[in-house]
Amino acid sequence: MLVTDRPSDGSASVRAQRGFTLTELMVTVAVAGVLAMMAVPNMRSFVQNNRLSSASNDLLRSFNLARTEAIKHQTNVVVCAVADPTLATPQCSYGPFKGWIVFQDSGPTPWQFDNGEPIFERHVLLDSSVTVKTDNNGIEMYLASGFASPAGAKTPSRNILLCDIRGNQMVGTNSVERAVLITASGRARVSATSTDVAAAGTCP
């Protein structure tokens, strides 16, 4: 006798096709919404902190590059703020370091970029959410000795602050702000400690 395997009713088929109930779907959506509400502020802070860290570290790297090139070429090398780093002949703005260039200052006009001077680096403009404050003119000159130049035609920056709309918001003993500090010896560093940030000034 031939026997065929066939369900006696449609219960197995119904179980296989069963999906989420409306209640289960609503609970899932509610949980996802709560998690999203918790994650969005944290993600925003992460992005803001990353922007400030990247900007301050980029500026620090440019100062270190200028110092290295000054010693290597035995000549003055300058880091100066510019409004448009992409121009063929960018001009120092002496304002905040929103964009900057690193160049060999060996031309006829000290503390200023002269056409034909070698440019070692061009840094694109920082994100518009980042505010930069300087204590003096937005320029730094390194001498052949590697020391930071004293004031001349311009007064070089020694304390630079980078912040955003949060201002000097504290996280433990640190601030969300970043301070780029330059000593007379030419050594530069980045700090987020409340003491260094407060000593560097206020931002924004």
Confidence of residue 38 (pLDDT cuts 50, 70, 90): low
Could you tell me the pLDDT band of residue 42, with boundaries at 50, 70 and 90?
A: confident
Domain boundaries, the chain: 44-200
Distance (Å, rounded) from C-alpha 1 to C-alpha 32? 56
136-190 pLDDT per residue, tens: 999 999 999 999 999 999 999 999 999 999 998 888 889 999 999 999 999 999 9
Q: Burial, 179: exposed, middle or buried (Cβ in 10 Å; 0-12, 13-18, 19+)?
A: buried
Q: 153 with 110: CB under 8 angstroms?
A: yes
Cβ of 123: how many Cβ atoms within 10 Å? 20
pLDDT at 6: 52
pLDDT at 2: 47
pLDDT in tens, 44-83: 999 999 999 999 999 999 999 999 999 999 999 999 999 9
What are the Cα distances from residue 45, in Å, to 39, 52, 73, 127, 176?
10, 11, 42, 15, 9
CA separation for the pair 47, 165 (Å, rounded): 13
Q: Computed over its alpha carbons, how large is the radius of gyration of the chain?
A: 29
pLDDT at 5: 53
User: Quick one: DSSP state of residue 82?
Assistant: B
Q: 44-200 has which CATH code?
A: 3.55.40.10
The enclosing H or E element of 204 equals: none
